[in-house]
Amino acid sequence: MTFETRQAYSEVYTVLQNMPAEYVEKIPKKILKLFETEKLDNYEVNINKSNPIDKNYLSKNAMALIAILNYQYWCPNKKVKNDLYMQYLSNNEKYEKDIQEKYNTDNLFKNKRNEQIKEENQELVECKERSFIQRILDKFKSIFKIK
């Protein structure tokens, strides 16, 4: 089991210890035992009881586990459970859309092409050559130190 998973189990176990007994009793004993046995013993979780659970600094994995517990065991009826399911689907679709836009291969290549075009435009500088007569005049001026 990974360190992050065991850390999340520690956080969830601490949250469950601070919850009313009526919520903890709804969770199967097997799951509670899993949280208790697999948690990190030397990891201290700082939870401020006066703040809501989303304002405490819990890991994403711990928040996901709490969301699963909420969906599976604490939803009071089918309507609330269905609404919660629809919210989870909506959040997942937004997340997938953001990821697709961020890592879309077409956009990645477009950005590189634009950067290359900008670099090429910066490199083009027009140089005018002085004529033969102008160079001779400049040479005389430098010899006689005339401006």
Instruction: Say how many domains are in the chain.
Output: 1
Q: Is the pLDDT of residue 147 over 60?
A: no
Cβ-based burial of 70 (10 A; exposed 0-12, middle 13-18, buried ≥19): middle
Q: Is residue 23 part of a domain?
A: yes
In tens, the pLDDT along 109-138 reads 665 566 666 666 566 566 677 777 888 888
- For the residues of 98-143, what is the DSSP string, one character each? HHHHHT-HHHHHHHHHHHHHHHHHHH----PPPPHHHHHHHHHHHH
Distance between alpha carbon 22 and the CA centroid of its chain, in Å?
Answer: 35
Instruction: Please report whether residue 120 resides in a domain.
Output: no
Determine, yes or no, domain membership for 37.
Answer: yes
* Domain, as residue range, for 51: 3-76
pTM of the predicted structure, to 2 decimals = 0.64
